[in-house]
A = this chain, B = another copy of it.
Amino acid sequence: MNLESQIRNIAKRAKGVVSVASQLSTEKKNALLRTMAQSLLTSKEAIHQANAKDLEGGKKKGLSKALLDRLTLTDDRIQQMAEGLEEVAALPDPVGQITRSWDRPNGLHVQKTRIPLGVILMIYESRPNVTVDAAGLCLKAGNVVVLRGGSEAIHSNRILTKILRKACEEKDISPDIIQIVSTTKRQALKWLVQQNKYIDLAIPRGGEGLMKWMGDHSKIPFVKHDKGTCHVYVDDEALLEMAIDISFNSKVQRPGVCNAMETLLVHEKIAPKFLSPMVKKFKEAGVTLKGCPKTCSLIPGLKRATEKDWPQEYLDLILSIKTVSSTDEAIQHIRKYGSSHTEVIVTESESTAKKFIHALDSSMIGWNCSTRFNDGGQLGLGAEIGISTTKLHAFGPMGLEELTAEKFVVLGKGQIRTR
């Protein structure tokens, strides 16, 4: 069978079991998730063996230490994956939830009711834990999942999927509700994103390159999980200490993630007293700083930020700082250079905060809090499959609810339409 047919068959098999996944009772889904968690723990040996092959391959390929670390499945990480599945089992089942209901003048009772989306294709890079996390969330929301992980993690992803599918069999559920595309051929992805007849949603997690590629090739609608050029704006009415704490936390607490701050905007009135202690604190933490001309004039010896810095997602201990003359200038800067991910204002002025919140349509706008709160767990959604930077369907952290759609259920007593 050629590659195209192979890929089409995977997608077709997935579509074929949509009603199996969507009709599973909450109890059955939770029991399945717990069985999966148990199976992971009892299969540590097999997982390590498969993972060792990936690590060996990665070393041969010359992957960086950071990438090899992301690829590694330690006992601790296997434990975490299992706990993740237990957590998803403990979350409320979104399927069947009535999100709103109302009555019509003719007596019809209308209920908006959550239903699964159908078949979800996950496209992700080196971290093999995504295989388990994504499968757990998709299944709990009643969906069938097709997994396409990075080629570096192929042996790990294969064994993890095998374990999850075996758990399905143990629970008398068709294992086809979890599909893996286990060929590492790049052409496979190209065929995969043509399967819009069988796959309802694609969730690509990766860099700008993958998102552009998806835009150019995918016939399947997709929700992007990409770049976060996040801003903190310190207003002239900010509390000094709070502004320092929030800015520091937003940049330094975990610089390699999408909700870390990349650009700090400072009102010129507060800049002289704010920047000096702030810069000191950043330097002590090893942060490389770059400033606009105004900022550089206040902090001697600072590197100059260039036009390339403002839209940049460093994902590292690097920060660009711009001094602005007004909230409006801060808003304009974010509109021009931001990526609609996370923006925070630090101010004691309610009217300025409201202006900022109203003017910007990023997935999270924070007032007096760290950018790092743009996260499913932190916002109270439970586990998340990623942070959508697409306004369509879901914007911001995607939890279980965002993996569903809503149907109208209309309860009548024989009503018909007269006009």
A positions within 8 Å CB-CB of B: 19, 22-23, 96, 102, 104, 108, 110, 115-118, 196, 200-201, 215-216, 219, 221-222, 239, 242, 245-246, 248-250, 253, 335, 357-359, 361-370, 372-374, 378-380, 390-393, 395-397, 405-417
- Cβ of B369 and Cβ of A416 under 8 Å apart? yes
- Cβ of B110 and Cβ of A379 under 8 Å apart? yes
A239 to chain B: closest residue by CB: B414
Known: A200-B392, A215-B196. A361 touches B115 (CB 8 A): yes
- Cβ of A414 and Cβ of B196 under 8 Å apart? no
Expressed in whole angstroms, the Cα–Cα distance for A10 and B320 within the complex equals 34
- Cβ of B117 and Cβ of A392 under 8 Å apart? yes
A364 to chain B: closest residue by CB: B408
Expressed in whole angstroms, the Cα–Cα distance for A250 and B415 within the complex equals 11
Known: A110-B379, A219-B215, A253-B416. A391 touches B365 (CB 8 A): no
- Cβ of B104 and Cβ of A409 under 8 Å apart? no
A411 to chain B: closest residue by CB: B367
Known: A368-B411, A391-B117, A417-B378. A358 touches B245 (CB 8 A): no
Known: A201-B392, A380-B102, A408-B363. A415 touches B373 (CB 8 A): yes
- Cβ of A372 and Cβ of B417 under 8 Å apart? yes
List 28 A-B residue pairs with CB atoms under 8 Å apart, sorted by A's residue number: A19-B359, A23-B359, A104-B378, A110-B379, A110-B380, A117-B391, A117-B392, A118-B391, A200-B392, A221-B221, A246-B414, A357-B409, A361-B405, A362-B407, A364-B408, A366-B409, A366-B411, A367-B412, A368-B413, A369-B410, A369-B413, A369-B415, A372-B416, A373-B410, A373-B415, A378-B417, A391-B405, A396-B407
* Residues of B with C-beta under 8 A to A358: 23, 96
- Cβ of B361 and Cβ of A410 under 8 Å apart? no
* Residues of B with C-beta under 8 A to A369: 108, 410-416
A364-B410, A369-B414 are known; give 19 further A-B pairs, CB within 8 A. A22-B361, A117-B392, A215-B219, A245-B416, A249-B416, A253-B416, A363-B408, A364-B409, A365-B407, A366-B412, A367-B409, A368-B411, A368-B414, A369-B412, A372-B417, A374-B408, A374-B410, A395-B405, A396-B406
Least Cβ–Cβ distance between A145 and chain B, in angstroms: 15
